[in-house]
Chains A and B, each alone.
Chain A
């Protein structure tokens, strides 16, 4: 299965700033996704990162707040913009190859002061 590396693993940020999270996969994959896990909650899909085109966002998530890039088949970034304390969460990247289940990165634990 694909090995997924995420960085940073954690960060503490000031409100109003933005942070970009990187996700690197060690092999070409067809699908990449970004999830959020708020404290004490389950995982919620933010968006599907589409290679070479705009991401597909789920209800409640918008591009201005969570811009996503996927320039190639092995790399994606998620930016959390204009952060507020409500954005304190774990952000996870996942990847899926052809006829394969999704595998996850270690996540990025984000705290906003």
Chain B
């Protein structure tokens, strides 16, 4: 079965430090992966998708099929990056499977 694993429930880093949120997946086909973010008191919103290969708010994520990973990275964390981050993949019929989420806290 398809599965998304985010090993860290909580992650805390200092402002200006690099950030890496880990995501591993299991999927038998060719995966389509996403990162969603939920800021305090806001709706869940798409941060980036692997097929776009773009950088959003300084974040990037590269799909590594060999390691079945899609880690989210940012070289210099900002306080406004504090949020809940969910990694997700698409399985058949466009259904999203979510990881458990990582709560990122950026300390001043």
* Genuine A/B complex: yes
Chain A: residues with CB nearer than 8 A to chain B?
Answer: 1, 31, 33, 41-45, 48, 56, 58, 92, 94, 96, 101-107
Other-chain contact of A42, B34, B46, B93, B98 (Cβ < 8 Å): B98
**B93 engages A48 (CB within 8 Å):** yes
Q: Which residue of B lies closest to A44 (CB)?
A: B98
Interface size on B, residues (CB 8 A): 17
**B94 engages A31 (CB within 8 Å):** yes
The reply to whether the CB of B74 lies closer than 8 angstroms to some CB of chain A is no
**Smallest beta-carbon distance A73→chain B, Å:** 15
Per-position 1/0 for B36-66, Cβ under 8 A of A? 1000000111100100000000000000000
Q: CB-CB < 8 A to A44: which residues of B?
A: 98
Given contacts A43-B86, A48-B93, are A107 and B98 in contact (CB under 8 A)? no
Q: CB-CB < 8 A to B96: which residues of A?
A: 33, 43, 45, 94, 102
**A42 engages B95 (CB within 8 Å):** no
- Report 26 cross-chain contacts, Cβ distance below 8 Å, ordered by A residue: A31-B94, A33-B95, A33-B96, A41-B100, A42-B86, A42-B98, A43-B44, A43-B96, A45-B95, A48-B93, A48-B95, A56-B93, A58-B95, A94-B96, A101-B34, A101-B46, A101-B49, A102-B46, A102-B94, A103-B45, A103-B46, A104-B36, A104-B44, A105-B43, A106-B43, A107-B44
Q: In terms of DSSP, what is the predominant structure of the interface of chain B?
A: strand
Q: Which residue of A lies closest to B93 (CB)?
A: A48
Residues facing A in B71-105 (CB within 8 A) are 86, 93-101
Q: CB-CB < 8 A to B46: which residues of A?
A: 1, 101-103
